[in-house]
Amino acid sequence: MKRSAPAKINLGLAVGALRADGRHELVSVMQAVSLCDELELVDGAGADEVVCPGVGGENLAARALALLRERSGWSGPPQRLAISKRIPVAAGLGGGSSDAAAALAMLAERAGVDDRALLHELAAQLGADVPALLEPGRVLARGAGERLTALPRSEDLYVLVLPAPGGLSTAAVYRRFDELGHPRSDAALDAVAADLARNLADGRALPEPALLANDLEPAAISLDPTIGERLARLHCAGADHALVSGSGPTTLGLYAGGDAKTRWEAGARSVAGALAVQAI
């Protein structure tokens, strides 16, 4: 069984206070893009195994397999999940989360578990980006990423993804955000969510510029000052907007409008190391 796991970008990210469960309230439009990892699930031997060459440490996809087995009670044969990475690691692009979402969906299909509510519950336990990537597209995410509202898709959004030489820990960026002390109130988050839903109800490529702000950007820049230089390169490459993706350190150049594709293609030629992707 094979499946693609797309990266996501955040079209705006408003962040509230730290909750009692250790997560933050947030509002964001999570948009899947055409940069994908490739996964293959086959019967294995001994125990479930996740193989991801070149990537060490704990793998969220392995937790997804274990969690689904535990909650569904499925006792089928050991599974071997092979992941071919294309999405940069620790980059704010949701690569690990997308792999975990794909692993949940693949094992559920293999086990005959047809329970969307259960998969969503397990995805929410795994991380803020995982629920939105169970059915990749464009969604408005609330809470800690578990409250989702589907939005009309737009195929007219073109993106330059500019990875950083190193990664940033999501937890470290959120800690710095807390230290900087500028969370949004619940009322402010509600207002952002309403504005985003209204702006994107007709399937347009991008919301109003003010709604594209990423509240984690100052925290990410304080941990990796080179982010500022990459944002400037994207602005110089004709992007309508340049911002940090998620918790960073990846930066994004967004292109929309009638001449977006032409400007995006020119930008891709001018920015060394940039990946040219589209909304899906």
Q: What would the pLDDT profile of 212-265 be if each residue is shown by its tens digit?
A: 999 999 999 999 999 999 999 999 999 999 999 999 999 999 999 989 999 999
* 82 and 144 co-located in one domain: yes
* Contact in structure between 29 and 149 (CB atoms under 8 Å): no
Q: What is the pLDDT of residue 267?
A: 97
CATH number for the domain spanning 250: value is 3.30.70.890
Give the domain extent around 204. Answer: 158-278
* Residue 118 banded pLDDT, cuts 50, 70, 90: very high
Domain count, the chain: 2
Q: What is the pLDDT of residue 209?
A: 94
Instruction: Inform me whether the pLDDT recorded for 90 exceeds 90.
Output: no
Identify residue 6 by its one-letter amino acid code.
P
Q: What is the pLDDT of residue 55?
A: 84
Tell me phi and psi for residue 155, to 5 degrees: -100, 10
Task: Name the helix (H) or strand (E) containing 278.
Answer: strand 275-278
Tell the residue number behind the tokens 């990410």, with chain if given: 220
Q: What percent of the chain has pLDDT over 90?
A: 91
Measure the CA–CA gap between 163 and 224, rounded to whole angstroms. 12
Chosen domain end from 125, 150, 175: 150
* Contact in structure between 160 and 268 (CB atoms under 8 Å): yes
* Residue 162 banded pLDDT, cuts 50, 70, 90: very high
What does the block give as tokens for 140? 């408005």
Query: What are the Cα distances from residue 56, in Å, to 52, 53, 59, 112, 227?
Result: 8, 8, 8, 31, 25
Q: What is the pTM of this model?
A: 0.92
Q: What is the pLDDT of residue 2?
A: 97
* 146 and 181 co-located in one domain: no
Q: What is the pLDDT of residue 92?
A: 87
In degrees, rounded to 5, the angle at the alpha carbon of residue 263 between the alpha carbons of residues 245 and 236 is: 60
* Contact in structure between 233 and 141 (CB atoms under 8 Å): no
The stretch 102-117 carries a mean pLDDT of 97
Average model confidence (pLDDT) for the chain? 95
Task: Name the helix (H) or strand (E) containing 234.
Answer: helix 227-236
Q: How many CB atoms lie within 10 A of CB 155?
A: 10
* 41 and 90 co-located in one domain: yes
Measure the CA–CA gap between 68 and 70, rounded to whole angstroms. 5
* 162 and 108 co-located in one domain: no
Q: How many CB atoms lie within 10 A of CB 34?
A: 14
3-class secondary-structure state, position 230: helix
Q: What is the pLDDT of residue 116?
A: 95
Instruction: Inform me whether the pLDDT recorded for 155 exceeds 80.
Output: no
* 26 and 6 co-located in one domain: yes
CATH number for the domain spanning 45: value is 3.30.230.10
Annotation says 8 is catalytic:
yes
Nearest one of 157, 98, 164, 87 to 127, comparing CA atoms: 98
The stretch 194-202 carries a mean pLDDT of 97
Chosen domain end from 94, 119, 150: 150
Half-sphere exposure of 86 (CA within 13 A, CB side): 17
* 113 and 194 co-located in one domain: no
Which DSSP string do the residues of 39-53 spell out, in sequence order? EEEEE-SSS-EEE-T
Measure the CA–CA gap between 139 and 31, rounded to whole angstroms. 7
Q: Count H helices and E strands in the chain, helices first.
A: 8, 10
> Model confidence over 55-67: pLDDT tens digits?
877 789 999 999 9
Q: Is the peptide bond before 249 cis (omega within 30 degrees of 0)?
A: yes
Q: What percent of the chain has pLDDT over 70?
A: 100
Chosen domain end from 98, 127, 150: 150
Out of 37, 129, 215, 224, the active site residue is 129
Q: What is the pLDDT of residue 154?
A: 87
* 20 and 94 co-located in one domain: yes
Q: What is the pLDDT of residue 40?
A: 98
